[in-house]
A and B are shown apart, each in its own frame.
Chain A
């Protein structure tokens, strides 16, 4: 537009001097319509012309509700303090599949946000669909970041096709919550009031037995009714602690490559715990928490984000720890919240602006860490302030043993894959299915997805 000469000459020759009433009215209407368009910053003009509402404003989408949402607001305010009140337009959308659908459609429609949040495991399908701009070393260097600034596990997992597809903000692993009063009576606390080392299956099972004696029933709770993600996280943690565990899915989801023997070993162990009366057979998400909060169970397994719920319970004395190594090696299911740059035409300034926003968010990782997430930004994760944070510091090492869901076009956190497999695993824990039946059902239900070519 800008390099075209200004159009000063009138379009029509002056010959048509006789201006009819209709033409005059029409011209008036056009002029009236053009007025609001003149200022391109007006919402109407921007909408009609498809231009940016305000070029200086960074558009940012995230999926954080609850406590995370409040902390993210604080961090956004931090950015606005640095760059001005009109520097950021942040939108929070409901998380899960609908969020990624909106992100996908906005990007396909060439109207994506400048920066968006995505789970690491969901960023991979977005990348495979060609919906993400890669982040180069120069982009990182432009805001003073290097590869070494990030948690090695999270950084290595986001590397795809030798490109950086996402910048991790945190790692959010599956963790162990424990009720101090119950564990005290079971003799499982050390002199500092912390959970003793429970490494090894025999030690852990002995602990479950002792807790069961204190509570007179359940020792550990894992949600498995009307809940599919938790049974999956539980299984994936234990499975990956076995030496030589293969990926569940390979070839971007075209092959189910789970090691049958190890699948049966882990699910058999889960059923054994239920039969012993140590593990609940049927609890929904909220009740699985309440059981531990009220002292009906000593342990409760869930993502560290439930720290906020636990802290809000009056008079609850609880602690947190990494899920102990029960089999051959340490491993814990996790995912990361990451920043992604959706595919769009960007000027160098816009790229820099997006990177500065990400840097400003990373700099405020300490606020984020209060919500339980382990910062991926090592400057914060290794700071004295974070290492003193209770009880976060007791499970911070989980980030180094994090195991992410396998990349698949229908996989990732809250995906079709987790829903399908998690539902079957939940039924195994209920005793409604044998491990063999559940594996057959999983193979059967995933057949549609493994046999279809990836749409990405």
Chain B
């Protein structure tokens, strides 16, 4: 690390305008509001507004089919969620999914990006191939992977049988493997996004660094470890943060591939919230669960920020 510090271009503070100047800019250019308005209005109406409503509703017995907030519930909705086994199990499944998907999505996308970056010819093909699944909608992904995991005649059943594995009831029907199946589908689907971020980061690294490293006698593996990985640390931080948040928000694939089954073996937090709000018609209780999930995601995001802050501070100090 020590040898790296002079060449590393860490920009610890983004060159954002100091807080004092923002106001002046706004006063000088009221047109800015016009440009902001289309986004800001929609953001207020569909994001901030409902979120405030969610916080308020979580303290009431709000119903989906009745207008108004309903009777005051105090902390009952929260206490109920803390007491519910299926709430805790859904949180665990969400975490389980996050643990299954984040490491492969970060490591694999890095490996694929490094390999692609080394291709001298036909790079476009690999970029396209790895990114293509990402542009498909989740419904398509789910159909594809449900077919692949079909027990008797799915795509996976043939290699599984050749390898001597008993396909049994199928990966998605077994409570112990269903989440793994969903995780595999998700990794295949979303790896393209991280891959592109890494590839962009790789192309930012000046060529001279590798040349200098090669002159110093560094092997390709040493170059990756001593040059590439440290210089991509900011990208990695971003990728990990985005990935954790995306994984905690898991819903589509579970809903479409297993609808939380078998039993509630893959029921995730957002699935539970949806069921509470739109099947049980209990918007109040669902709001309480949403607030709890929101707080958990917030805490994890803050923790990640603190950890990466400490990491970059230590890097500066060295």
Binding site for B on A (CB under 8 A): 97-98, 100-101, 104-105, 107-108, 129-131, 226, 409-410, 416, 423, 448, 452-453, 455-456
Contact = CB atoms under 8 A, between A and B. Distances in A.
A455 B71 contact: no
Given A448-B83, A452-B282, A453-B71, 19 more contacts: A97-B275, A101-B279, A104-B64, A105-B64, A107-B65, A108-B64, A129-B63, A129-B66, A129-B281, A226-B262, A409-B280, A409-B281, A410-B280, A416-B279, A452-B285, A453-B61, A455-B62, A455-B63, A455-B65
The 10 closest A-B pairs by CB, nearest first: A455-B63, A129-B65, A101-B278, A455-B281, A97-B279, A455-B282, A101-B279, A453-B61, A108-B65, A131-B65
B28 interface: no
Interface of B: 61-66, 70-71, 80, 83-84, 262-263, 275, 278-285
Contacts of B70: 455
B280 A455 contact: yes
Contacts, number: 55
A456 B80 contact: no
Contacts of A423: 263
Contact of A452 (B66, B80, B283): B80
A71 B262 CA distance: 30
Nearest to A284: B169
A428 to B, nearest CB: 17
Contacts of B80: 448, 452
Contacts of A105: 64, 278
A100 B275 CA distance: 11
A453 B280 CA distance: 12
A194 B35 CA distance: 80
B279 A448 contact: no
Given A105-B64, A131-B65, A456 B84 contact: no
Contacts of B71: 453
Nearest to A100: B279
A456 B63 contact: yes
Contacts of B283: 455
A22 to B, nearest CB: 16
Contacts of A416: 279-280
B257 to A, nearest CB: 14
A101 B263 CA distance: 20
7 contacts: A105-B64, A129-B281, A131-B65, A226-B262, A410-B280, A453-B71, A456-B63
A108 B70 CA distance: 16
Contacts of A107: 65
Contacts of B64: 104-105, 108, 455
A86 B92 CA distance: 50
B34 to A, nearest CB: 16
Contacts of B280: 409-410, 416, 455
Nearest to B65: A129
A97 B281 CA distance: 11
B279 A456 contact: no
Contacts of A130: 65-66
Contacts of B282: 452, 455
A410 B285 CA distance: 14
Nearest to B175: A226
A226 B280 CA distance: 22
Nearest to A451: B80
B55 to A, nearest CB: 19
A131 to B, nearest CB: 6
A455 B84 contact: no
B223 to A, nearest CB: 53
Contacts of B262: 226
A331 B83 CA distance: 38
Contact of A456 (B263, B281, B285): B281
A420 to B, nearest CB: 10
Among A97, A104, A108, A452, the one with the most B-chain Cβ atoms within 10 Å of its Cβ is A452
Contacts of B62: 455
A107 B83 CA distance: 32
Among A108, A226, A448, the one with the most B-chain Cβ atoms within 10 Å of its Cβ is A448
A54 B137 CA distance: 31
A455 B278 contact: no
A100 B280 CA distance: 10
Nearest to A108: B65
A456 B279 CA distance: 12
B23 to A, nearest CB: 32
Nearest to B279: A97
A106 to B, nearest CB: 11
Nearest to A105: B278
A456 B283 CA distance: 11
Nearest to B85: A445
Nearest to B61: A453
